[in-house]
Structure 1
Amino acid sequence: MAFLLSQSELEKEIKTLFSLGLSGNAKDFFSWIQMEVFRKFKDLPNTNLETVQDILNHLQSNEDIVTNPFDPREYNLSEKSSLARKVGSSEKYVILGALEYNPMQYVRTRLDYFLKYNLVIEDLRMDLCIATVEAVENAAKYGDGLNVEINYQIDKSKLFTIEVLNTVKDFNLEDDIQRGKFSSTATLMRGMMVMQKLFDAVDLEILDNRKQAYLKASRKLSLS
């Protein structure tokens, strides 16, 4: 039986997502609502894509959100939105790593919002978002689909640090190759190479006793 989520509760959840800096299309917000409800209550909500789209249209009519000029299907906070919140120098949250919840877009847009309001220049924001998406994608591909802990901050010396912790699932490299997949090891290393290029320092540790992967990376910031 689906988790019962009223219209007002659904609208509140969507508003919260926007206040966190998220942006995306109706399908993105639908998947994030599913993720949040399942993470909290271990069940999927009784909502649908059409209802989510209706709420987005309502928020747009109130000028709380606007469409992206480069992609009219994507919604962002408007400059004068009542949903905007103050942004600090650190954020810590938990997402689900299953790909159907689109965790990469979730973290990318939330991180970009965080960096923008901490006055990080656009080119550097792009680098950090690309590198972080690689980290989250690895967590999604090689994790168990459950909790992925995200923690990032900017310290007083203007050093950006991010930590990603997730449980690693068991996978068999030979089985992957026989099914025609690209080598899992090579895919993981490609992601690490991107991160090593875009971060100043990257450290990935596999905690065998807990079957967890812990990634920590950092980069010195140039502020506008």
Structure 2
Amino acid sequence: MPFPLSPSELEKEVKTLFSFGLAGNAKDFHSWIQMEVFRKFKDVPSTSLESVQELLDHLKENGDILTNPLDPREYTLSEKSTFKRKVGNAEKYVILGALHYNPMQYVRARLDYFLKMNQVEEELRMDLCIATVEAVENAAKYGDGLNVEIDYQIDKSKLFTISMVNTVKDFNLEDDIQRGKFSSTATLMRGMMVMQKLFDAVDLEIIDNRRQAFLKASRKLA
């Protein structure tokens, strides 16, 4: 049963999201708050989209966040934000793979911020984000909607590596084709092609009796 978040609890959740470098509109942050709360407490908050929008507007007035000049609906950290945290050369976190939580935008924004803080040039950041979003989309479409473990780092040789683990739904390729779902299989293959083009190396393996997908990819940054 949904439960309310107090104004201070809501503000804490939003500040934490921004500290990860996330950027998005009010609907994105509303989805991410639901995801984080459900992941921690196995229940969804009854927080409204309007209350999230009001809080974002308030934080903007205080100067901790600002809107994107190209899209005034998108909010991002300001350079002088008190929410900023120190970013190292590795990050590991868990998201929920259900599409209604918008996990693709979550990972894209968080990864881009991580790469930016590690002085990775914009064009390379874009390539890595596009490739990673394809991996997250596959995990969301073919996974069970629950935990997706994400781990990435940049080592001393400037090699970026990322690994992703999630549980996959039961499916049979032959049955999918017969039921006219070949387009979904084509989507999976398209995503793999994009990843193979933008990463230097990609390895996808179904493990644990074909119920768990393990993806590992890497790209040299210099």
Give the TM-score band, short-chain normalised.
over 0.9
Partner of 2:82: 82
SS of the counterpart of 2:218?
strand
Query: Aligned ranges for residues 1-224 of structure 1 at < 5 Å?
Result: 1-173=1-173, 176-177=176-177, 180-209=180-209, 211-222=211-222
Q: Deviations over 1:92-142 (max 9, x none)?
A: 000000000000000000000000000000000000000000000000000
Give distance in 2, aligned partners of 1:8 and 1:130: 35
TM-score, normalised with respect to structure 2: 0.96
Q: Any unmatched runs of 5+ in structure 1?
A: none
Structure 1 counterpart of 2:205, one-letter code: E
Deviation at 1:46, TM superposition (A): 1.6
Deviation at 1:178, TM superposition (A): 5.8
Deviation at 1:208, TM superposition (A): 3.8
Q: Deviations over 1:15-34 (max 9, x none)?
A: 00000000000000000000
RMSD of the TM alignment (CA)?
A: 1.3
TM-score, normalised with respect to structure 1: 0.95
Question: Percent same amino acid among aligned pairs?
Answer: 82
Question: Is the Cα contact below 8 Å between 1:153 and 1:161 reproduced in 2?
Answer: yes
Give distance in 2, aligned partners of 1:179 and 1:17: 41
Give distance in 2, aligned partners of 1:42 and 1:147: 12
SS of the counterpart of 1:183?
helix
Give distance in 2, aligned partners of 1:116 and 1:50: 31
Q: Deviations over 1:40-63 (max 9, x none)?
A: 111100200000000000100000
Give distance in 1, aligned partners of 2:5 and 2:103: 22
Deviation at 1:171, TM superposition (A): 2.4
Question: Per the alignment, do residues 207 and 36 of structure 1 end up closer, same or farther by CA in structure 2, a change over 3 Å counting?
Answer: same
Give distance in 2, aligned partners of 1:122 and 1:46: 38
Structure 2 counterpart of 1:197, one-letter code: K
| Number of residue pairs matched by the alignment | 222
Q: Any unmatched runs of 5+ in structure 2?
A: none
